[in-house]
Structure 1
Amino acid sequence: MVVSWVSRAVHSLVMAAKYNVVFVLGGPGAGKGTQCAKIVEKFGYVHLSAGDLLREERAKSGSEYGELIDGHIKNGTIVPVEITCRLLERAMKVCTQRCLDRGAAGSGRTDDNIESLKKRFDTYMNATMPIIEHYESKGLVRTIDATRNVDEIFDDVSKLFA
């Protein structure tokens, strides 16, 4: 199972072997979705994107979390972990395969604009990086340079699954 979270410079893979769950982390535009799609194709994992799940929940009519999620997404802040986890758990029970095959142009996402991207990057640096650093100190993070072309990056990703 691959779960992508909400830098251009790196991908960090945190592996939790007990449940064979891989978290693909990186800042906005780092290529998380692209690499997750390749992992799904080559290794048969299921990809659940927290961002996709949050956007779907936000769009649902009568959603108990929709308004709250909308505010966080528009402000580039992190949705409370409890809500994100509930959505991931729900998605894992129907094993829905998801791929982030989108480009900035025409994606239809309200957070694909310069203001939201700046906020998302700041949130990544201030809220996500400390988590990565915590797991890195436990030897559970593998970092890959994501400034190269997609196939070169995936060659390195593949080595982590061998």
Structure 2
Amino acid sequence: MIQNMIKEGKIVPSEVTIKLLEKAMLENGNDKFLIDGFPRNEENRAAFEVVTQIEPEFVLFFACSEEEMEKRLLSRNQGREDDNIETIRKRFNVFLESSLPVVQYYESKGKVRKIDAAKPIAEVFDAVKAVFAAKHEKVEHHSCVTL
């Protein structure tokens, strides 16, 4: 079911995703987490916070133009079924409709750390390291929204 939804560029139901995340978090035994690509929509966000009683310390947002993302996804050649122009464009539209409001929600709370992802890999990595280095205090939880 998850594979078919990903192929269609759709979002996996919140309850499925949260159960998988919660299981992985509990089995890990750590109190710090970086969750890549979640929450993808407002339902994910609200359900995650209600079920887990966790609100992220901050959210990483990797900003990049649609054209650059298309170019990178089409050239990564990893053999993924969803790396085709139709699915990529569907995913971008889903992001604009569903995920961007989540970013805006966390931005209104001062929790978004924006990274210019169009820069070279080394510069992006340095920017990400700087975000984590800036957190001197104990960081409880992280969440990351990506496309």
Aligned length: 89
Matched, 1:79 2:12: yes
Query: What TM-score do you get using the length of structure 2 for normalisation?
Result: 0.54
Partner in structure 2 of residue 27 of structure 1: none
What corresponds to 1:113 in structure 2? 84
Query: What's the offset of the Cα at 1:153?
Result: 1.1
Q: Distance in 1 between matches of 2:129 and 2:110?
A: 19
Poorly superposed stretches of 4+, deviation over 6 Å:
none
Q: Which residue of structure 2 lines up, in the alignment, with residue 53 of structure 1?
A: none
What CA distance in whole angstroms lies between the structure 2 residues aligned with 1:150 and 1:104? 14
How far has the Cα of 1:131 moved from its partner? 0.4
Give, in whole Å, the separation in 2 of the partners of 1:76 and 1:89.
23
Relative distance call for 1:109 and 1:94 in structure 2 (3 A) is farther
SS in 2 for 1:76: coil
Answer 1 or 2: higher relative contact order, Cα 8 Å, separation at least 6: 2
Q: Compute the TM-score of the two structures, normalised by the length of structure 1.
A: 0.50
Q: Percent identity?
A: 46
Provide the secondary structure at the position in 2 that maps to 1:82. helix
Give the drift of 1:94. Answer: 3.7
Q: 2:21 aligned with 1:88, yes or no?
A: yes
Looking at secondary structure, tell me which structure has more strand per residue. 1
2:107 maps to: 136
Number of the residue aligned with 2:49: none
- The C-alpha deviation readout for 1:40-94, integer Å capped at 9, x for no partner, is xxxxxxxxxxxxxxxxxxxxxxxxxxx2x23321221111111111111222234
CA RMSD of aligned residues (A): 2.1
What residue ranges of structure 2 are gaps of 5+ in the alignment?
A: 29-35, 37-72, 134-147
**Please, which runs of 5 or more residues in structure 1 have no aligned partner?**
1-66
Does 1:70 pair with 2:3?
yes
Residue 77 of structure 1 aligns to a residue whose secondary structure is coil
| Whole-angstrom CA distance in 2 between matches of 1:143 and 1:113 | 27
